[in-house]
Structure 1
Amino acid sequence: MYRLGLTPWERYGAAGGAQLGTLLDREAKERPTAPGRALDIGCGRGQFTPELARRGWEAVGVDIVPRAIEAARRQGPAEITYVLGDATDLEPAGLGTFDLFLDIGCLQGLDTGQRAAEGRGVTALAAPGATLLILAFGPSRYQRLVEGVSRAQIEAAFPGWEVLSVEDAVTDGLGWPMNQTSPQWYRFRRTAG
């Protein structure tokens, strides 16, 4: 899609970024310690990763598309680390542990096995009490055009994580048919064990 210049998800930036900022502010307020390390899974060209850094997180973005990672590195800022890697194979990337994980639209494009693999990788890299924020489109009659995932499918990918909240995502800036998919923000906390 990057080669073809077809990146409709990037149009969602302004509206999605504002809501993400609110969620990150809440996360910082509710944490017993200052923001730590955060991993933006499927970061693309780094559209949302700087939002983490602006709020005090040591931000790392990971994506499987070399062209996207190169663009993210060029755009900066320099304090953000961008890594070429696979969301379904995070452990071998040597990324370390994280207090916060962010997945905006990556998980929804994966099949059942790939979602489980992302879940295993996130769990392996999670610091105690880590938080996971996922923005995903829901299943819809437009499934062939816009990938979506149900709450049950998301929860199945992250055993050992507790759902803290599920909130409607804003749809401003989403064109048709993406605005017909009932996007949701899911907030999880890593449980002990």
Structure 2
Amino acid sequence: MYRLGFTPWERYGAAGGAQLGGLIDRETRERPGGPGRALDLGCGRGQFTPELARRGWEAVGVDLVPAAIEAARSRGPAEVSYVVGDVTDLPSAGLGVFDLFLDIGCFQGLTPEQRAAEGRGVTALAAPGATLLMLAFGPSRYRRLVEGVSRAEVEAAFPGWELLSAEDADPAGLGWPMNRTSPQWYRFRRAAD
């Protein structure tokens, strides 16, 4: 898709940026020691990863597509790290431990088995008290065109995590049919040991 220049998921950047900034700011304020390490899951060309760094997080983006990671690195900023890796096999990437995980549209494109694998990987890399912020489209009659997941499917992939909130995401700027999928922001917290 990157080679063809067809990346409809990137359309959400302008519309979702303000809402994402507020969500990251809340995590930064509520974290006792201030910002820590953050991992952008399925970061693509690094559209959102720099938002983490701008807010003081040590930001790392991971994506399976080498061309996307190469583009992300070329865009910068220099203080953000990008790694080619599989979100369904995070422990093998040697990334270390994280305090915040960001998934904007990656999880929803995975099979049920892959979603469970992402959940296990995030859990393995999570520091005590870590947070997961996920933007996912809901299931709709357009599921063949736009993948989506239900709240139950999201929760099932992250056992041992507490769902703190599920909030409507602003669909402005998405275009049809993505604007018909009831996108949600999910906020999970990993229990402190």
Instruction: Indicate the TM-score class for this superposition, using the shorter chain for normalisation.
Output: over 0.9
Q: Between Structure 1 and Structure 2, how many residues are aligned? A: 193
SS in 2 for 1:132: strand
Aligned to 1:90: 90
| Alignment partner, residue 13 of structure 2 | 13
2:142 corresponds to: 142
Distance 1:188 1:121 in 2: 15
Q: Deviations over 1:111-162 (max 9, x none)?
A: 1100000000000000000000000000000000000000000000000000
The ranges of structure 1 where at least 4 consecutive aligned residues each deviate by more than 4 angstroms after the TM superposition are: none
Match of 2:103 in 1: 103
* Alpha-carbon distance in structure 1 between the residues aligned to 2:81 and 2:175: 31
The residue correspondences of 1:58-73 to structure 2 (distance < 5 A) are 58-73=58-73
Which whole-Å CA distance do the structure 2 matches of 1:17 and 1:90 have between them? Answer: 26
1-side partners of 2:11 and 2:150: how far apart? 23
Deviation, structure 1 residue 89: 0.4
Extract unaligned runs of 5+ from structure 2. Answer: none
Does the alignment pair 1:33 with 2:33? Answer: yes
Match of 2:22 in 1: 22
TM-score (norm 2): 0.99
Helix, strand or coil at the partner of 1:90: helix
Deviations 1:55-104 (A, max 9, x none): 00000000000110000000000010000000100001000000000000
Structure 1 unpaired stretches of 5+: none
| Percent identity for Structure 1 against Structure 2 | 82
Query: Which aligned pairs between 1:40-189 and structure 2 lie closer than 5 A?
Result: 40-189=40-189
Compute the displacement of 1:32 (Å): 1.0
Cα deviation code 1:8-66 (max 9, x no counterpart): 11111011111100001111111111100000000000000000000000000000001
Distance 1:21 1:15 in 2: 11
